[in-house]
Every structure is written in C-alpha cells, then in structure tokens.
Amino acid sequence: MKFSELFCPTLREMPSEAETVSHQLLLRAGYIRKAGAGIYSYLPLAQRVLKKIEAIVREEMDRAGGQELLMPIIQPRELWEQSGRWDVYGDEMFRLLDRHQRYFALGPTHEEIITSLVNGDVHSYRDLPLLLYQIQNKYRDEIRPRFGLMRGREFIMKDLYSFDMDEAGLDVSYLKMYTAYNRIFQRLKLQYRVVEADSGAIGGNESHEFMVLADTGEDAIVFCEREDFASNVEKAACVYRDEGPHEDMREMQKIHTPGMRTIKDLVDFTGEPEQRHVKTLMYFADGQLVAVILRGDRELNEIKLKNVLGCNQLFMADDDSVRSACGAGFGSLGPVGMDIKIYADQEIAGLRNFTCGANEDDYHYINVNPGRDFLPEDYVDIRNAVEGDLCPVCGHPLKAARGIEVGHIFKLGTKYSQAMNATVLDKNGQSVHIVMGCYGIGISRTMAAAVEQNHDENGIIWPIPITPFQVIIIPINVKKQEQMEAALSLYNELQELGLEVLLDDRDERAGVKFKDADLIGIPLRIVIGPKALQENQVEMKKRWENEIYNIAIDQVAGTIMNILKEG
C-alpha cells in the first residue's frame, strides 16, 4: 500500500475529548473517527487490525469445535418477553418500532435469538453438543459512553453459545472455551489474567473474566504472581489469620468527641492509626436494618455482604432511620449497646482496644473489645481485597491491578432453556432442558486494550500478530530517483514474499514520516537514504526498541522474515 493513497488522517495535536491513551492514539493515528457518542467509524488501518483479531478468534473457536453463523441484529420483542428480560434492561436496550408499530430490540446480546433458533431445530441428544458463534455488532445504550472503543454504544463482539445435555457436558464445553480463550490472548501477545467474576445477574453458577492489565482498566483485580490465582476485587475472598498474641484488654471508656464523625477525625484526635478504629455502616437488607462493622482502613464490599446476608434488596440506610434506631447519626455509631443485628468483618475478631461510636452524638468509646463489649451476629468476609492480602491458594501476598475486561465466559445452565422451554429428547426419550453456556470476546475493545498495553510517547506499538502493516519503507527524499527506485524494488520484493508493506511515498520531510510511522505503530521501519545507495545499505528500526541496524539491501527480506517469525 502506498501511504500517499492510504486514507489515514493523522492529527498533530492530542484530541481534547479523549481521556485514555488508546482513545487519543486511535484518533490521532487515523484509526477511528467518532460518528456520535459511543459510535465510531473504523478507518482502513483499524479495519486491518480488527480483521486480524477476528481471524485469530475464528481459528481458535473453530479449533474448539465452534461453528460460525450470523444472527440478526434486529430482535423481536416476543423473544425477550419469553426469556423475561424485555423489562430487565431498561434504558440500556436500544428499542425500535417497525412500520406496523411493532417493537424490536437492537441486539445487545443473543441468548434469546440463539435459544429460540436451537429450540426450533434441535430435537435429540444426538444433535448435541453444539457450539455456535458469531462475530457481529452489539448495541447497548451506555449512560456514559467513554474511553473511545472501550465503552461504546455499538461494538464488535464474538459471542459463542454452547448447548449440552447436562452439566457434565457443559463442563466440557466450558473447558474447551476456557482453553481457547487462553490461546487467543496469548496469540494476541496481551498481558492478561483470568479472574473468577461475580456472575451477578446473569444467573449462571460460574463465570470467568479475561482481564487485560492496564492502569486505565475499569475493573479492580488482585492476583498472585506465583501461580495463576486472580480474582475480581468484587469476588476475591479475603484470607483472615488471627496473628495473635493480642494485647491485654483495657477498660472501656466513653470519651467526649465533639464534632468528630470520620475515621480521620478520630485518627487526628486519638493519635491512633485508622486500623485501631472501627467504622459502623447501616443497611436495609430486604427491609431489615442491620449494622455492619469493619476496620477503619477497610472498604465494605456490598456484593459480598449481599451474598452473606442472602438478601435480594440491599441499600444503605438513611440518616433518619439510623437516628431513630440508634439514637445517633452517622459517624457516632458503634456496636456497643446496639440492639440491631451486627455483622462484623472477620478481622474484627482479632482487634483489641479499638475506638468506635457510642451511639450518642459527640461521644465515642475507646478500648472496645469484641466478645466482652459486644457480640456480633457473625464474623464474615465482607471487605474488599487489597494488595498485600494473602493468596488463598499459596499464601503469597497478592498484587493489585486494574484490568480491561476483554472476555467473559459464563455457565448458564438452563436459565434460558427453561424460560423459553428449549428441550431435546434424551436417550430414554425423556424431554430435558438444554444446558447452555455463553462466551463473549470484545473484538473492538480488544484492539483498544492492545493499544493501552502497547504504546509509548511516540504512539502505538502494535503486537506483530495484529499490526495493520508489518513493515513501512521510508525513502528519505522521494525526489531522488535512485532512492525511490531502491524503495520500490524493496517494496515489490517484500510484497512478493507475502509481507504487508506500507511505502511512505509522500513528498514530506523525513522527520514527519518518522513521526507518522511511530504514531501509527508499524513494528518494522526501513529507511532508504543517500548512504543506502553508496554503501548498498538501509537502516532498520524495530518500533519497540531504539536500536538502529544497518543492513545490506539484499539481507533485508531475510532479516525481516526472521523477526516476524519470532512474532
């Protein structure tokens, strides 16, 4: 491809509305253009990257036994009513009317479509297992579309659905996908972790997220460097070991703490660190007021609390309810003398002589001790995991990171097949509900995540397996005929070898061309200058290094092939 013909509108300045580096660079390097909030055009370079990512995904889906199909984006309302989800997703679902005033959804996902399709044409155990997938646009009306392709309202997803006779079959399909996903992200040269996710509303009983590590990631994870334990902070179990021995219990005292409400106030007032103070939070769990206490430096994990309490509705109590129930407002609450059920984070059991509210405004207790001064309903794991917590597998201190979710796989069980009555006959002629799994990869999000993880101050550094072009040839001065001839001859030689080559034939200063080559992220750069011809040499530079190599022109092809083979 000749750069002078390539539609690649690079920008000199950093676009202001872009908040993350991948959004900035994909805009500046002429890969994407915004059509509307959360809606983008993929320009030719981006399309080449997407096609390479999709090709790797297809290869691994097919290797795992998947069969590619293509489902409709326009989805009849009836299917979503059958699954009971038409009213679940509210404003996030794009809805449209046809000429007969009938409602449709713009497909945010395809469980309903695929379950209905399979139900209609799969009748016997002999037809299973089945792994069906597509690569297609999805539509979700995000409240705050942001970070460019990372959280768009239209995005490209590969979604595969598995169909089995029973849970054992699902386990096999799930493992096939788990393995295929690891192969995909390894082939994409991405640093990632697989974390057990809180399957939340999807209703399956097991799910894993594939997280590309990046500081701009929206998800907080903890992971062990020693082995592959990793977990969403939402779900990470906290290991509590009572370190013992404990200091002697001192006499509890009530102290006047005028205007003190926060842990920080108490740290400043008592000089004791925040680990020596206990915060008390009040929640309505299915309408019942409960108290939750944690060490002052910890954060409550509401998902864990909800799972521990086994409640459906959980929300923080308002000040009035708290005041009428406890006799004091937030910041003056504590477990001593409280006649409301108290759930204590497991670490409280190991605390001694701590400070907490006295359930009286402007008063606190000091030297409070669990067991002696109050009895919690239970000691439970309800705090967020943090860096330094111990790995539940090997006890090694965990590392914290932020991740971009690029893949998510779920065991669905019979959630959709029951709702939509999708059955097959088993060996004994009995009708059984099909057991399903669903497996997504964000294709466009993966491209952005690759940039988040592979860039420097000059621009993108594409991993070789997904780069839009493998080599860029830059003649220093296109007006020098001998330089252009050498460039064209090398360009043709490399193309005949099947390499993807960009020839920067623009009549621009060399510096501009070098900057553009770095910005768009082409892994290998070949410069043809006056020296080249005198000494029959060219300069080669790898985008991920600073080293410049002088190579004889007739060695270039071989050298490049070797570098690309290493990938």
Region for residue 173 given its phi and psi (left: phi exceeds 0; alpha: psi -120 to 50; beta: otherwise): alpha
For ligand 9G3, the closer of residues 419 and 533 by Cβ is 419
Residues facing 288 on adjacent strands: 285
Q: Which amino acid is at 68?
A: E
Helices 44-63, 443-453: axis angle to 10 degrees equals 110
CB-side exposure of 119: number of CA atoms within 13 Å? 23
For ligand 9G3, the closer of residues 328 and 438 by Cβ is 438
The CA radius of gyration of the chain, in Å to the nearest whole number, is 30
Closest residue to ligand 9G3, Cβ-based? 440
Cβ at position 93, least distance to ligand 9G3 in Å: 4
Q: Does 438 bind ligand 9G3 (CB under 6 A)?
A: yes
For ligand 9G3, the closer of residues 109 and 446 by Cβ is 109
Q: Which of 28, 235, 277, 408 binds ligand 9G3 (CB under 6 A)?
A: 408
Task: Determine contact, residues 119/148, Cβ cutoff 8 Å.
Answer: no
Residues facing 124 on adjacent strands: 425
> What CA–CA distances, in Å, run from 434 to 67, 79, 133, 281?
18, 17, 17, 44
Cβ at position 467, least distance to ligand 9G3 in Å: 27
The DSSP-derived string for 348-390 is GGG--SEEEEEEETTEEEEEE-BTTTB--SEEE--B---TTPB
Cβ at position 83, least distance to ligand 9G3 in Å: 10
For ligand 9G3, the closer of residues 408 and 455 by Cβ is 408
Cα separation, 254 vs 302, whole angstroms: 31
Strands of the sheet containing 288-295, edge to edge, are 314-316, 278-285, 288-295, 342-345, 378-380
Cβ at position 133, least distance to ligand 9G3 in Å: 9
78-97 residues near ligand 9G3, rule: CB under 6 A: 89, 92-93
Cα separation, 307 vs 291, whole angstroms: 16
Task: Determine contact, residues 160/94, Cβ cutoff 8 Å.
Answer: no
Strand, helix or coil for residue 128: coil
For ligand 9G3, the closer of residues 139 and 469 by Cβ is 139
Q: In the chain, count of helices (H) and strands (E)?
A: 14, 31
Cα separation, 150 vs 406, whole angstroms: 9
- Contact pattern for ligand 9G3 over residues 191 through 230, marking x by CB under 6 A: -----------x----------------------------
Cβ at position 17, least distance to ligand 9G3 in Å: 25
Cβ at position 101, least distance to ligand 9G3 in Å: 21
For ligand 9G3, the closer of residues 411 and 525 by Cβ is 411
For ligand 9G3, the closer of residues 135 and 328 by Cβ is 135
For ligand 9G3, the closer of residues 283 and 410 by Cβ is 410
For ligand 9G3, the closer of residues 79 and 398 by Cβ is 79
100-159 residues near ligand 9G3, rule: CB under 6 A: 108-109, 140, 159
Cβ at position 18, least distance to ligand 9G3 in Å: 25
Cα separation, 62 vs 160, whole angstroms: 11
Cβ at position 159, least distance to ligand 9G3 in Å: 4
Cα separation, 279 vs 294, whole angstroms: 6
For ligand 9G3, the closer of residues 77 and 261 by Cβ is 77
For ligand 9G3, the closer of residues 162 and 384 by Cβ is 162
157-176 residues near ligand 9G3, rule: CB under 6 A: 159
Give the containing element (helix H, strand E) for 219: strand 219-223
Strand, helix or coil for residue 552: strand
Q: How many residues bind ligand 9G3 (CB under 6 A)?
A: 12
Cα separation, 365 vs 354, whole angstroms: 8
Cβ at position 97, least distance to ligand 9G3 in Å: 17
Longest dimension (CA), the chain: 93
Cβ at position 89, least distance to ligand 9G3 in Å: 4
- Total count of residues recorded for the chain: 567
Binding residues (CB under 6 A) for ligand 9G3: these are 89, 92-93, 108-109, 140, 159, 202, 408, 410, 438, 440
